[in-house]
Amino acid sequence: MSATLAPQPAQTQPQLEAVLQAALYLLGARQDRMLTIDEWTDLARAVAACQERKTADYLTENDLEDIAERYALEWDEATDGALPTLDDE
């Protein structure tokens, strides 16, 4: 994924605080050599909010499948995007 920044309106303080908190979680997780799907999703949400995009735009297909299948994360399709439909095989 490229880090192309589109022109953005002035960021709100809550958006900047969310990005900072998510970045702190990411740095801490890297130091501990681990990162949870919750932390990764928080980071994706914060960046998506600043970029006026969907959370799903910043997650891999495997991440989205894991969220849909295994994790009880709060997920709002209007803000976060659609999760994949899982087929029972």
Residue pLDDT, tens place only, 59-87: 989 889 999 988 888 999 999 999 988 76
State residue 80's pLDDT score.
Answer: 95
State residue 70's pLDDT score.
Answer: 86
Domain ranges of the chain: 13-76
Task: Provide the pLDDT confidence category of residue 57 given band limits of 50, 70 and 90.
Answer: very high
State residue 2's pLDDT score.
Answer: 55
Question: Is the model's pLDDT at 15 over the cut of 80?
Answer: yes
Instruction: Indicate the burial class of 65 (C-beta count within 10 angstroms; 0-12, 13-18, 19 or more).
Output: middle
Q: For the chain, what is the mean pLDDT?
A: 82
- Cβ contact 88:77 at 8 Å: no
The structure's pTM equals 0.67
